[in-house]
């Protein structure tokens, strides 16, 4: 049975409140095991609408669960997407307070800046032609669910755990890089914690971008010029602790840094 608009709003309010107050939440599917993926994306959009009413602005999209390592870590088998808002944007070298999050993790990513609007069902090559710049990025994810445990449906409703992101300051045109195989090294406090390649992001970050556009198209939406797209993590996510200094180095794209107080 389809969920009523009232129930969608109530569930959106629940995930929004958990994110706003960093209060861990019981999985929505514990009470509503019949919740569908389609409904979860509707809850996601309704929770974003609440943020926009409070003054946050949309800045882009993220793909999640794009690498085999991440899928295995979370026990799921398909990529998902979430919305990025102005309150999630951090500058390179930013310092975050651990206490502002439920259980933050960080992952190394490749990000796109869109140079033109695009919608429909483009090939990865066509999707890439709409990109004006590529950079390295660190994404902070922070599931609002207790113990970071959830089903695919729950995490979609919770905006794919989106919490924050830092873009590298070196923006390159995609044609100038071997985008399908860039080495990526993430270190914490000077120790390498994860190494990978952009190839781990659905085999090529452009495939992730094209998959996102196709999923948005299914809801009559697309990407807009100027939007940021996080293509997805290249490795497992790493739990953050107070005092951590995180550095990501991406071949040809320089460094991205984040500190935790």
Query: CB count, 10 Å around CB of 194?
Result: 20
Torsion sign over Cα 105, 109, 112, 118: negative
Q: Please, which residue, 14 or 70, has the CB nearer to ligand 0L1?
A: 70
- Measured CA to CA, the distance from residue 5 to residue 7 in angstroms comes to 6
Q: Which residues contact 138 (CB under 8 A, 6 or more apart)?
A: 106, 107, 108, 109, 165, 166, 186, 246, 248, 256, 257, 258
Q: Which of 96, 233, 244, 260 binds Mg ion (CB under 5 A)?
A: 233
Residue 161 binding target from ligand 0L1, Mg ion, none, CB below 5 to 8 Å by type: ligand 0L1
* Binding partner of residue 155 among ligand 0L1, Mg ion, none, CB cut-off 5 to 8 Å per kind: ligand 0L1
Q: Does 139 bind Mg ion (CB under 5 A)?
A: yes
Q: From Mg ion, ligand 0L1, none, which one binds at residue 74 (CB under 5 to 8 Å depending on kind)?
A: ligand 0L1
Positive or negative torsion for Cα 196, 71, 85, 123: positive
Q: Which of residues 27-86 bind Mg ion (CB under 5 A)?
A: 64
How many CB atoms lie under 10 A from the CB of residue 75?
10
Rounded to a whole number of angstroms, the minimum distance from the CB of residue 175 to ligand 0L1 is 26
Is 124 one of the binding residues for Mg ion (CB under 5 A)? no
The residue ranges that bind ligand 0L1 (CB under 6 A) are: 64-65, 70, 74, 139, 141, 143, 155, 160-161, 232-233, 237
Residues of this chain that interact with Mg ion (CB under 5 A) are: 64, 107, 139, 233
């Amino acid at each position: 049975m389809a969920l009523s608009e009232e129930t969608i709003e109530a569930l959106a309010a629940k995930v929004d409140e958990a994110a706003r107050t960093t209060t861990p939440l019981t999985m929505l599917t514990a009470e509503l095991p019949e919740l569908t993926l389609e409904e979860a994306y509707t809850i996601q959009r309704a929770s974003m609408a609440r943020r926009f009413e409070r003054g946050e602005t949309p800045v882009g999209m993220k793909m999640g669960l794009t690498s085999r390592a991440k899928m295995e870590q979370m026990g799921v088998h398909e990529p998902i997407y979430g919305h990025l808002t102005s309150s999630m944007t951090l500058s390179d070298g930013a310092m975050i307070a651990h206490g502002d999050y439920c259980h933050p993790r960080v992952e190394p990513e490749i990000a796109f800046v869109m140079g033109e609007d695009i919608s429909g069902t483009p090939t990865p090559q066509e999707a890439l032609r709409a990109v004006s710049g590529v950079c390295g990025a660190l994404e902070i994810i922070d599931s609002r669910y207790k113990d970071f445990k959830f089903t695919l449906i729950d995490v979609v409703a919770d905006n794919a755990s989106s919490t924050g992101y830092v873009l590298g300051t070196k923006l390159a045109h995609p044609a100038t890089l071997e985008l399908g195989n860039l080495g990526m090294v993430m270190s914490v406090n000077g120790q390498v914690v994860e190494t990978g390649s952009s190839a781990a992001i659905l085999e090529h970050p452009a495939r992730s971008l094209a998959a996102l556009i196709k999923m948005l198209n299914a809801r009559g939406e697309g990407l807009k010029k100027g939007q940021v797209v996080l293509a997805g993590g290249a490795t497992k996510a790493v739990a953050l602790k107070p005092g951590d200094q995180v550095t990501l180095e991406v071949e040809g794209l320089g460094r991205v840094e984040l500190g935790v107080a």
